[in-house]
Chains A and B, each alone.
Chain A
Amino acid sequence: MHEVSNATEKEHYIEAIEEMASQKTPEWLATLREDAAKRFAERPLPHRKLEAWRFTNVNPIIRNPFQPIAESGVDQLASSDVHPLLYANDWIELVFVDGWYAPKLSRNAGPGGAAKTAGLHEAIAAEDDLVEAHLGHVLGDGGNVFSDLNTALAHDGALVHIPKNVELDRPIHLVFVSSKTATESVIHPRVLVIADANSEATIIESHVSLAGEPRYFSNPVTEIRLNDGARLTRIKVLDEGPQGYHLSTTQVRQDRDSRFDGFTFSMGGPIGRNELNIVFEGEGAECSLRGLTLTEGSRLVDNAISVEHHAAHCNSWIGYKSVLEDKSHSVFCGRVYVAPGAQLTDSNQLNQNLLLSDKATVNTKPQLEIYADDVKCTHGATVGPPPQELVFYFQTRGMSQAMARGILTYGFADEVVNETPLDPVRDRLDRRVFDKYSPK
């Protein structure tokens, strides 16, 4: 049997967990953390023989003893440092520095508006019932060894509550910033989103680094509960610094007739993993999951998606694209599970990869587990350079091969950007893609 305890690699985390347990905590939370700590101790750290991590080598993260962070570097930051990351005066924008909520850098947050937003730490301190009722329960025993670690160690993050029938008139932006203070540290941001029946909202979650190139490990978990008829768009932007490792888990549970539109943009950080688990619990729910991964150098991005159809009449659509340069690496897994009785499931997935270098690597696989008979499940994948016949067409119109590839790549990537709602978000992404690929 394979050695699964990883005693040495886990040692500093176990110490942090013990330290955490010595602090004063509400009982429910202490129990939640204890259970997670137990699972963390039992589950093996990723290695190549674990199917879910076969192509994703996280040894640089495991072997580096990232330390818990004592306090945030918020006092070293001015609002002008953070301002370029924000979008609009009237949006609800919560800023988190090194995992801690920073109210003075945030705007329009709080319980005042149609929706409630708060720092998770303060919500727990204020004995918010929602947190006790949902924190850790959306995730359940799903997730992975790192989401267990997050549950065991998370100290702050965001709470978002969209009450029944509220169609939120402004987006919510959660910005997770790593500062110099996070150097050699691990942070465990935690987000809890509760969308009550028939509510509608859009949430952007940005993960960025400020100042220099601190080495850090961000290990966020986002839990999203969509009640009957709720509609949520969530745009995640993974843009960590050049030495900012990122392993995230997002778990979405959807009740009857709810809809989730997910966008995942992966653009920065040496190793980034987005585990995204959708669980359909009520009939008629649907999700559309779009992704764009842009890698260069020796960066690695892994999108591990799972959609579980536990109820009938649910639709899922997965469309992910990657553009790879140099020796970079993109991993995609689209798991679709259709439970017995989840009839009339309609599930489609497409993973398209554009290779701009023959040294780049793509691992892509669908994973269909179907236990109902009246279902429609399709999947497809493409991997290759910009097609030569297209490049030639550009050349006959006076453009060089390099220019042709640049424009074709921009067009390929921008398709996902163009589907993104909210002009300010789309414009910023479009500029990014344009600057990266369009011919100079």
Chain B
Amino acid sequence: MLEITNIHATVEGNEILKGIDLQVKPGEVHAIMGPNGSGKSTLAQVLAGNEEYDVTEGAAHFLGEDVLDLPAEERARLGLFLAFQYPVEIPGISNAYFLQAGLNEIRKSNGLGELDAMEFQELLREKMELVAIDPRFADRPVNDGFSGGEKKRNEILQMAVLEPKLAILDETDSGLDIDALRIVSDGVNKLRSPERSFILVTHYQRLLNYIVPDYVHVLFDGRLVKSGGKELAYELEEKGYDWIKEELITAS
């Protein structure tokens, strides 16, 4: 599904990612944890195609395609989705209009017919129910004036509508209350399938109680320095990141 080899990326001349390797197979859920500023969002943005970041070395293949040269929209049309850590607000454009336009672009490029307004309304209603979002959000401008938690849920709604093959959720759990966390996790779990993969960026082990990962990785100073099963998340929760730092120092 996704194969990343030795990715280096810089922003404004600073190297943030310093050689990342990662393989995600269909149906797998990978969690990426790591201290603030270690490069988790940078990795997510680089994969989604944000041109603010320069990839200076390495490759990324998604469903066999070399995606680093593709513009972001073509990655999305292939089935890559990013739930942003900080979703932007788009005044003047309704959620429904935005999502319908996006979905139809993705459908068109996959040889599917466009959904008309009626068909889309029906689909949206269904998906809003799935992620327990108030139907009135359909007509509100995208994220405009939404609370932090509402924005995160709106990202999950978009994921549910666009039905990507690989979803990267960048701290979608941060800022959610317990109920919202459960709703979001339920939404993700309902979308889990043998064909669909997830990368969850998170700081909290509690998310992984709801969405049980196959692998947990630690991103530290631009490198994936440790990988393990879900028990690694418990260890991190308990001990923090210092012991990893010490391990690294001892190793070098």
Q: What residues of chain A have their CB less than 8 Å away from a CB belonging to chain B? A: 387-390, 392-401, 403, 407-408, 410-412, 414-415, 439
Do the beta carbons of A397 and B98 come within 8 Å of each other? yes
Q: In the assembled complex, how far is the CB of residue A439 from the closest CB belonging to chain B, in whole angstroms? A: 8
Q: Which of B207-234 contact A (CB under 8 A)?
A: none
B129 at the interface (CB under 8 A from A): no
A403 to B98, CA, bound (A): 11
B138 at the interface (CB under 8 A from A): no
Q: Which of B73-109 contact A (CB under 8 A)?
A: 73, 75-77, 81-82, 84, 87-88, 90-93, 97-99, 101-103, 105-106, 109
Contacts of A389 in B (CB 8 A): 88
A396 to B44, CA, bound (A): 12
Could you say which of B72, B88, B93 has the most chain A C-beta atoms within 10 Å of its C-beta?
A: B72
B71 at the interface (CB under 8 A from A): yes
Q: Which of B34-73 contact A (CB under 8 A)?
A: 48-52, 71-73
Q: In the assembled complex, how far is the CB of residue B32 from the closest CB belonging to chain A, in whole angstroms? A: 18
Contacts of A399 in B (CB 8 A): 73, 101-102, 105
B185 at the interface (CB under 8 A from A): no
Contact of A393 among B51, B52, B84, B105 (CB under 8 A): B84
Q: List 16 A-B contacts (CB under 8 A).
A: A388-B52, A389-B88, A390-B88, A390-B90, A393-B84, A394-B102, A395-B76, A396-B48, A396-B75, A396-B76, A397-B101, A397-B106, A399-B101, A407-B97, A407-B98, A411-B90
Contacts of B101 in A (CB 8 A): 397, 399, 403, 407, 439
B33 at the interface (CB under 8 A from A): no
B162 at the interface (CB under 8 A from A): yes
Contacts of A439 in B (CB 8 A): 101
Q: A398-B162, A411-B93 are in contact. Are A393 and B88 (CB under 8 A)?
A: yes
Do the beta carbons of A397 and B102 come within 8 Å of each other? yes
Contacts of B102 in A (CB 8 A): 394, 397-399
Do the beta carbons of B158 and A397 come within 8 Å of each other? yes
Q: In the assembled complex, how far is the CB of residue B189 from the closest CB belonging to chain A, in whole angstroms? A: 23
Do the beta carbons of B91 and A411 come within 8 Å of each other? yes
Contacts of B76 in A (CB 8 A): 395-398
A350 to B112, CA, bound (A): 44
- Find the B residue at minimum CB distance from A388: B52
A400 to B97, CA, bound (A): 15
Contacts of B91 in A (CB 8 A): 411, 415
Contacts of A394 in B (CB 8 A): 73, 98, 102
Do the beta carbons of B92 and A412 come within 8 Å of each other? yes
A411 to B93, CA, bound (A): 6
Taking A393-B90, A399-B105 as given, write out 19 further A-B residue pairs in contact, using a Cβ cutoff of 8 Å, ordered by the A residue number. A390-B90, A392-B72, A393-B88, A394-B102, A395-B71, A395-B72, A395-B73, A396-B75, A396-B76, A397-B76, A397-B98, A398-B109, A407-B93, A407-B101, A408-B92, A408-B93, A410-B92, A411-B92, A414-B92
A410 to B93, CA, bound (A): 8
- Find the A residue at minimum CB distance from B106: A398
Q: In the assembled complex, how far is the CB of residue A432 from the closest CB belonging to chain B, in whole angstroms? A: 16
Q: In the assembled complex, how far is the CB of residue A397 from the closest CB belonging to chain B, in whole angstroms? A: 3
Q: In the assembled complex, how far is the CB of residue A315 from the closest CB belonging to chain B, in whole angstroms? A: 24
Contacts of A411 in B (CB 8 A): 90-93, 141
A415 to B144, CA, bound (A): 13
Q: In the assembled complex, how far is the CB of residue B67 from the closest CB belonging to chain A, in whole angstroms? A: 13
Do the beta carbons of A395 and B49 come within 8 Å of each other? yes
- Find the B residue at minimum CB distance from A406: B101
Contacts of A415 in B (CB 8 A): 91-92
- Find the B residue at minimum CB distance from A413: B92
Q: Which 5 A-B pairs have the closest CB atoms?
A: A411-B92, A397-B102, A395-B72, A398-B106, A398-B105
Contacts of B106 in A (CB 8 A): 397-398
A395 to B77, CA, bound (A): 9
- Find the A residue at minimum CB distance from B105: A398
- Find the A residue at minimum CB distance from B71: A395
Contacts of A387 in B (CB 8 A): 88
Q: In the assembled complex, how far is the CB of residue A271 from the closest CB belonging to chain B, in whole angstroms? A: 29
Q: In the assembled complex, how far is the CB of residue A49 from the closest CB belonging to chain B, in whole angstroms? A: 40
Could you say which of B84, B101, B141, B162 has the most chain A C-beta atoms within 10 Å of its C-beta?
A: B101
Contact of B72 among A396, A410, A414 (CB under 8 A): A396
Contacts of A401 in B (CB 8 A): 71, 73
A396 to B105, CA, bound (A): 11
Could you say which of A387, A393, A403, A411 has the most chain B C-beta atoms within 10 Å of its C-beta?
A: A393
Could you say which of A393, A398, A399 has the most chain B C-beta atoms within 10 Å of its C-beta?
A: A398
Q: In the assembled complex, how far is the CB of residue B98 from the closest CB belonging to chain A, in whole angstroms? A: 7
Do the beta carbons of B87 and A393 come within 8 Å of each other? yes
- Find the B residue at minimum CB distance from A407: B93
Q: In the assembled complex, how far is the CB of residue B237 from the closest CB belonging to chain A, in whole angstroms? A: 30
A390 to B158, CA, bound (A): 16
Q: In the assembled complex, how far is the CB of residue B158 from the closest CB belonging to chain A, in whole angstroms? A: 7
Contacts of B92 in A (CB 8 A): 408, 410-412, 414-415
Q: In the assembled complex, how far is the CB of residue B203 from the closest CB belonging to chain A, in whole angstroms? A: 22
Contacts of A400 in B (CB 8 A): 71, 73, 105
Contact of A396 among B52, B82, B90 (CB under 8 A): B82
A414 to B103, CA, bound (A): 23
A407 to B109, CA, bound (A): 19
Could you say which of A387, A396, A414, A415 has the most chain B C-beta atoms within 10 Å of its C-beta?
A: A396
- Find the A residue at minimum CB distance from B143: A393
